[in-house]
């Protein structure tokens, strides 16, 4: 008797190894499928930079699946119609897929499950993008965690995750009754008359499972042992660079976890400075699962009333990296050029936007959503709420970073700024992070004309800080939360 096929619905798990949905199909014939459904995602449809990544990741996944005997089917449109139709026409027994925390993705999965059930079929969801099921971890009160530290302790106390599942050597591909679209039909890349803003992305990134594994092995082999010392230096490759690979599931968090622990000789405590970053990603997705309003609304209700002063001109200057603060402008230039920004610089740039400039954190999050190759709804939202003081476990709003001070601390020689703000390259190190402090002869010698070749600060730090604290006081928070002692 012929075994009925299983549809493997790839979502944000674009890999063959450690893919529980693929493994669940067992020895049955498989129909691998990816559906681009922007309408279901709505305003959270994949942003421009992440679409570039998705194009190349799907290309890599398609080639890997074809080599194993099961070509990838690419579809575009309403998933709740296309998947049940594919199941009915192919006679598939079930659909296997990964579970996602995004509110729209959960609604989509529920609708697909209901449509399949009407035809006597089932959707089986598997934990493929997280270490733990977000429904499992609870505080002692029985409520979901809202603070990172106890969440991290609970997760660590649970021991290492299960070992990753090896990739199948071969797959039994089932014939598809529906023709796959060509990858170009998904329209994921910039095309004329739009300039190719992604031209430099490929010089930095290699999307796909093979690229993810190469970067993981390089990091645990040469970078992990120095991670705690180097992670905050934006001028070097001190971070793992795994975030975009994790965002599209080209590598799983438990693959990352086990590789890090193994590289430290099985001593998890030596790997914990890095593993805690993996857990922060986990916590962000966990918050999104339990607080689906997080991408749009402050998790602390009082911060819904924060008196932001939206200003399109200020926002545009920040987006273009024309704030007059070199470390911030360097970060925004790096973001535009290669689709990524160093995490320490993300914090400094975000702080300037929501505090000095009093712009809504949602506007900064929207810009990152469109320009980051690693744009992840949970991580992006939780991180912006953290810097804006609006999250359940956020940095106090009254901690207003001085961009120049932060830059001198984390980019002491100005190496990062000189790379991404070349018009300041010839400034002496003493003035590279605060060119407005440089004497006129030093500016002339460096070819810098403030207000012309490089902008003056968009706001004075002391003025911006005072205005931010005044805005905070309007919320009438308890003194401990309202202003620095």
pLDDT, averaged per 10 consecutive residues of the chain (485 residues), comes to 87 98 96 98 97 98 97 98 97 97 98 97 97 92 94 94 96 95 97 90 97 98 94 94 98 98 96 96 97 96 95 98 98 98 97 98 98 97 95 85 97 98 98 98 98 98 96 80 51
Q: Which CATH code is given to the segment(s) 301-475?
A: 1.10.579.10
Q: Are 47 and 371 in contact (CB under 8 A)?
A: yes
CATH 1.25.40.80 fits 130-162+208-290, yes or no: yes
The confidence score (pLDDT) of residue 395 equals 79
The confidence score (pLDDT) of residue 465 equals 96
Give the full edge-to-edge strand order of the sheet including 73-76: 73-76, 30-36, 6-10, 94-98, 122-126
Same topology between domain 6-128 and domain 130-162+208-290: no
The confidence score (pLDDT) of residue 457 equals 98
- The domain locations on the chain are 6-128, 130-162+208-290, 301-475
The confidence score (pLDDT) of residue 140 equals 86
Spatial separation of the C-alpha atoms in residues 76 and 244, rounded to whole Å: 23
Query: Among 75, 72, 48, which Cα is nearest to 188's?
Result: 48
Distances from the Cα of 323 to the Cα of 115, 326, 337, 358, angstroms = 51, 8, 17, 14
Query: From the CB of residue 258, how many other CB atoms can be counted at a distance below 10 Å?
Result: 19
The confidence score (pLDDT) of residue 1 equals 44
The confidence score (pLDDT) of residue 2 equals 63
Q: Which residues contact 236 (CB under 8 A, 6 or more apart)?
A: 230
pTM: 0.96
As a whole number of Å, the CA-based R_g of the chain is 24
Choose which CATH entry (3.40.50.720, 3.10.110.10, 3.40.50.620, 3.30.930.10) describes domain 6-128.
3.40.50.620
């Amino acid at each position: 008797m012929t075994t009925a096929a299983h549809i493997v619905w790839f979502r944000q798990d674009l890999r063959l190894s450690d893919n529980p949905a693929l493994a669940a199909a067992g020895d049955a014939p498989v129909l691998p499928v990816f559906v681009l459904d922007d309408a279901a995602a709505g305003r959270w449809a994949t942003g421009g930079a992440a679409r570039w990544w998705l194009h190349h990741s799907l290309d890599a996944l398609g080639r890997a699946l074809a080599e194993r005997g099961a070509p990838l089917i690419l579809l575009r449109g309403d998933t709740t119609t296309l998947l049940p139709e594919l199941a009915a026409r192919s006679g598939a027994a079930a659909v296997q897929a990964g579970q996602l925390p995004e509110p729209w993705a959960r609604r989509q999965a529920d609708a697909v499950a209901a449509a399949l059930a009407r035809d006597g079929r089932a959707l089986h969801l598997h934990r493929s993008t997280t270490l733990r099921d977000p429904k499992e971890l609870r505080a002692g009160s029985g409520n979901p965690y809202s603070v990172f530290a106890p969440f991290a302790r609970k997760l660590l106390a649970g021991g290492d995750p299960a070992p990753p599942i090896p990739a199948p050597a071969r797959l039994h591909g089932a014939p598809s009754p529906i023709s796959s679209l060509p990858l170009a039909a998904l329209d994921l890349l910039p095309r004329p008359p739009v300039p190719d803003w992604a031209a430099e992305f490929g010089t930095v990134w290699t999307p796909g499972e093979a690229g993810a594994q190469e970067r993981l092995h390089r990091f645990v082999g040469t970078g992990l042992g120095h991670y705690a010392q180097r992670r905050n230096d934006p001028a070097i490759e001190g971070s793992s660079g795994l975030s975009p690979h994790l965002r599209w599931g080209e590598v799983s968090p438990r693959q990352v976890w086990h590789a890090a622990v193994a590289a430290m000789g099985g001593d998890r405590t030596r790997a914990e400075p890095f593993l805690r970053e993996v857990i922060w990603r986990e916590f962000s997705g966990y918050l999104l699962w339990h607080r689906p309003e997080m991408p749009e609304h402050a998790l602390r209700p009082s911060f819904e009333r924060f008196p932001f002063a939206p200003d399109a001109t200020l926002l545009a200057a920040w987006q273009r990296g024309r704030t007059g603060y070199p470390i911030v402008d360097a970060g925004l230039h790096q973001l535009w050029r290669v689709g990524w920004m160093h995490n320490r610089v993300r914090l400094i740039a975000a702080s300037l936007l929501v505090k000095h400039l009093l712009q809504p954190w949602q506007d900064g999050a929207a810009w990152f959503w469109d320009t980051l190759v690693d744009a992840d709804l949970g991580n992006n939202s939780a991180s912006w709420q953290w810097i804006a003081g609006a999250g359940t476990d956020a940095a106090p709003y009254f901690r207003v970073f001085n961009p120049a001070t932060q830059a001198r601390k984390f980019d002491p020689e100005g190496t990062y700024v000189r790379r991404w703000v070349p018009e300041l390259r010839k400034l002496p190190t003493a003035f590279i992070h605060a060119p407005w402090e440089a004497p006129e002869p030093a500016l002339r010698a460096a070819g810098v004309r403030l207000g012309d070749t490089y902008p003056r600060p968009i706001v004075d730090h002391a003025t911006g800080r005072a205005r931010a604290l005044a805005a905070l006081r309007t919320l009438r928070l308890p003194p401990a939360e309202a202003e620095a002692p």
